[in-house]
Structure 1
């Protein structure tokens, strides 16, 4: 393995971002390979900085990545802080800048001014276009978890990170109101039972869809699963007949919306909770144009219609941070074999760089050809 690769993992600027793209166990493998890994101290990261020090990483102060030598790859989860504005390094993070999202132009200008490049972690794919590493499973898991808890009146605010085992236990508990209803001889919650809540997962076969299905199974919620076949000629009436909708579909091309604002006023609508994994509300690829701004940990739910029944949306753009350890360990393990080849002309990283050049055409005029 090359001894010239240098990685710098920065502290995350977002106050609720506890994830890490490289877990300590994988950092140990990288350093054993002779790769120089610098890790910024971070009080909010789920892994203690001391774990990285024991793994052989050099420790730096938070926010010092702008002073890193030019030959470093700077890695994070979300966009770095605004200062300095120009970005001169090769950066790895989720940029959300290639589908016309709000702020995309500003981010790409930062690279144009600094001469750096973005290796967007969302676009590190294999030859078939499948992402090699993603937080999608845990995004779907949490989208469904929050939807179920809200529908049962048990969603506590503000949200706080919890281990997956704790969330599974919470999901398995029935709400007090439902228990009282059963004691009075009312309808029992069960698969397809009369009065039982139902959920629909769109994109059920992908990573996020699998995560949503796992959470709904833990909660005992009867679930309908749609994927490509079911959405080619989408049955809007069937969609609206479910209590919960979890959207786990992201598209790179404009497509017909799954749900519109007019649909929320349809007679007989049963749908009352929409949980959107993708949060593409500023993009023309948005498949759920029923809301125009995200929700967050302090205000996780926004009402769209008063009803009856009312309709609420959950649209949080860092859902996996609610299970930061599990999400980080899974993502890091998947990314590790590709990080070990960073700096080598492998197809996955070259495709990633080509996406950046395509999004920012003048980047192709630079001398940079290697990742």
Structure 2
């Protein structure tokens, strides 16, 4: 491969994100695995791995990385920090025409920046090859159980962001000894859901089939995993077809109503298309048999699949109450009849060291062989939103989004 200098940029977004694309050890591994690669680290006061941890392994750490060929970050780069004529990799959050990042994409085009978006790095089957989703699920499930315990006065757990790492957090949830025989529903089957299931399994909670969850009673806490086919059906009564559901979600309706009378804690981890049905309605929360009292909306789609998610929350203030009688939000744990919800929109940031290690592994294994190749690669091209001051062909639909 050709000689390439890769710069790890300082995260500049507010509030600051402590995650990094590559940990110190992953930097060394990448340089060993890819001859010709040199990694430079930009100084940062907020990174979960300190500047000294990089220096201790012989990596160069300095204030300016403008001479690097490729710049890697995590979150959106502040406009004033964009360096013209560079290649960047980060989560731009522009592909859905998010209003908050319209000017970011405009500036990227004006500054002749090549933008490769992590979210769009996929294999030939369209599956993402690098993501923080597993850690969103892990922290989301932990936060859901923390919220449930606080709401009912059962136990008090240290917030995930105060834990040093996953092992420290695991010591916390091993303290949970007083869970009543509740039923927990986890929606989804992707990385996020798998992360949530990992926590429930490590806690020793019993997993049951969807049928048994619906129709049997237990004297211990149990959980089930719900896939799309478990809580949706075609409007015309035709047989379930998963690929068709993903292509034409508007042709389906929710059957989640059957889970409302038997579920205490909902952990929502399923990707949601705006054309797809919501899990339930606000009117459903006023049903006499609506049993859900705690929700961990890990997907955190405001006004999305969970209709009570009227806003996102922060790591420091992770929960709010939804009052079914008024439809209004209230302070968390305000009154017993409210639904208490956790809707943090940057959950992996609560365990930044673990999340960063995992992300770096995916970068080295799944992305660098293509990114650092001497020849053009379909995987990189599919994820390249801008090049040469223009939107690439695949992203021409964003033209009206960035038009003056």
TM-score between the two structures when normalised by the length of structure 1? 0.81
Structure 1 unpaired stretches of 5+? 179-188, 190-194, 364-371
Is the CA contact 1:160–1:297 (under 8 Å) kept in the aligned structure 2? Answer: no
Larger mean Cα displacement after TM superposition, 206-215 or 91-100: 91-100
Aligned equivalent of 2:380: 349
Q: Are residues 89 and 304 of structure 1, via their aligned partners in 2, closer, same or farther at CA, if it must alter by over 3 Å?
A: farther
Query: Structure 1 residues 214, 21: closer, same or farther in 2, change over 3 A?
Result: same
CA shift for structure 1 position 312 = 1.9
CA RMSD of aligned residues (A): 2.6
TM-score, structure 2 as length reference: 0.75
Does 2:239 correspond to 1:237? Answer: no
2:268 alignment partner in structure 1: 247
Match of 1:201 among 186, 193, 212: 186
1:86–1:112 contact (8 Å) kept in structure 2: no
Q: Distance in 2 between matches of 1:274 and 1:16?
A: 26
| Aligned with 1:316 (options 341, 344, 357) | 344
Cα distance change of structure 1 residues 118 and 288 upon mapping to structure 2, 3 Å threshold: farther
Instruction: Report the Cα distance in structure 2 between the residues aligned to 1:332 and 1:158, rounded to whole angstroms.
Output: 21
Question: Equivalent residue for 2:138?
Answer: 141
Q: 1:239 to 1:82 in 2, by over 3 A?
A: farther
Alignment partner of 1:301 is 2:330:
no
Q: What is residue 17 of structure 2 aligned with on the other side? A: 17
Match of 2:30 in 1: 30
Alpha carbons of structure 1 residues 55 and 351: separation in structure 2 relative to 1, 3 Å: farther
Equivalences for 1:1-371 in 2 at 5 Å?
A: 1-3=1-3, 5-13=4-12, 14-32=14-32, 33-61=35-63, 64-65=64-65, 68-69=66-67, 72-84=69-81, 88-153=85-150, 154=156, 159-174=161-176, 178=178, 189=179, 195-203=180-188, 205-219=189-203, 220=205, 221-233=221-233, 234-240=254-260, 241-251=262-272, 254-281=275-302, 286-305=304-323, 309-337=337-365, 338-344=367-373, 345-353=376-384, 357=392, 358-360=394-396
Aligned length: 336
Q: Give the 3-state SS of the residue equivalent to 1:199 in structure 2.
A: strand
| Contact residue 138 and residue 199 of structure 2 kept, 8 A | yes
Are residues 354 and 95 of structure 1, via their aligned partners in 2, closer, same or farther at CA, if it must alter by over 3 Å?
Answer: closer
The answer (yes or no) to whether the contact 2:130–2:362 under 8 Å persists in 1 is yes
Whether the 8 Å contact between 2:143 and 2:160 is mirrored in structure 1 is no
Residues 26-50 of structure 1: per-residue CA shift (max 9 Å, x gap): 2112333221211112232222223
CA displacement at 1:16 relative to structure 2:
4.7
